[in-house]
A and B are shown apart, each in its own frame.
Chain A
């Protein structure tokens, strides 16, 4: 099927000079956008237009553009990563929009993710949570045999589902409480399910939850909005596991 052309789109985009400046919405018109172009390509076209008009292009995060790096973000028309389910913004295409539409584009809004410029936020808070315990300590020495530790298939599958998290921040961005529980739960689950990670499970759960609270993320109220918006469809069953791991660890103290 041939791609159609969207004759005109109105873009309402959040512009903010730097972290300290007060931002605001700017409205731009963009013409003749192919429905086959991706959302980020549409923004590239807008930026070329802005550059040709001697205006500052819109700053937005992007890297792999194939949905695996977790760099792109954007709150599009009131939803994290736009109107499609299970995709990142870079996988969203313009065929999802009608000709003449007005599209509102905002950065992630979350106290722990401050805006750096325009649509770019600092997601360093997630790195800090990982640094607090989202790893397995490995002793140096010879490389162990791959199959030395038997792992049941179902556990390996569950751990793999949790490990699909790309840390994009859509969970905290979409949560009405700005809670990072789905991210922390995915990281805790991924390791707690495997024998290599179990050894440090208690310390990890406590340290990561403490860091998450310290950074000012909100408290999870189990609405399930995060799993709906997660581009990797990570289930909130992992949040139940995080709660279990945390409570178990605290009871042992």
Chain B
């Protein structure tokens, strides 16, 4: 395994695996978030959030998730810098529209936009939930006799009061979706799990998956913005 991590394919292998791991995380995250729009009392979401916050498996996975994000960002940055250096003199005229998808050419930019969104998102929710003493302390609520933090109130009040945040979250969802249209199938290609037949399947699956993730995450701020959750 010598020089595995310094080789181009080795770095992409790790980038792809971390990407696939983040994709798995997105599925869990979206599934839980959708509880927000299925119960306007907020009990359902609070139970879900409380379960995640107290689950020992989640406690173990959380630092691994952070490592996954860091690996994905660091490797993508190293690869992008190397790629920039590989062409010291640029073309004066370039016409790439016909030979590849826009999202596939701009994965690093899309990723950077998602990262900015992620920072805002962590500041909005994660920071306040994890460090109630430093951020805004969460209200308490009781569901079925169990006392827990009112996470629903935190989320719903943000989306009900700020159209700007709603639009930001919708944009975040769209950019994440665009990143996934290429990222999803590209990860499989990089780990070698692709051929003529599977490429069509994976590319199709990538579009469907990206659409579900983008629509799924956009629908939540829209739901609150359009007043379906009441005022």
Task: List residues of A whose CB falls within 8 A of some B CB.
Answer: 12, 14, 25, 75, 77-79, 104, 106, 109-112, 174, 176-179, 209-210, 212-213, 216-225, 228-229, 235-237, 239-247, 250-251, 253
Contact = CB atoms under 8 A, between A and B. Distances in A.
Contact of B8 (A79, A111, A212, A223): A212
B230 interface: no
B66 to A, nearest CB: 24
A44 B174 CA distance: 51
Contacts of A179: 8, 83, 86
B189 A243 contact: yes
A78 B2 contact: no
B100 A224 contact: yes
Contact of A77 (B88, B93, B190): B93
A26 to B, nearest CB: 12
A250 B196 contact: no
A111 B1 contact: no
B162 interface: no
B192 A111 contact: no
Given A109-B90, A250-B1, A177 B190 contact: no
A70 B101 CA distance: 27
A77 B182 CA distance: 27
Interface stretch (B9-17, B57-65, B123-131, B211-219): B9-17
Contacts of B189: 222, 236, 239-240, 243
B155 interface: no
A209 B186 CA distance: 19
A241 B89 contact: no
B105 interface: yes
Given A213-B8, A228-B100, A243-B189, A109 B196 contact: no
Interface residues on B, range: 35 or more
Contacts of A79: 95, 98-99
B182 A222 contact: yes
B204 to A, nearest CB: 15
A243 B98 contact: no
Contacts of A220: 8, 12, 190
Given A178-B86, A241-B192, A246-B9, A223 B100 contact: yes
A216 B88 CA distance: 11
Given A179-B86, A239-B189, A75 B79 contact: no
Contacts of B95: 77-79
A218 B86 contact: yes
Given A218-B87, A220-B12, A221-B83, A78 B94 contact: yes
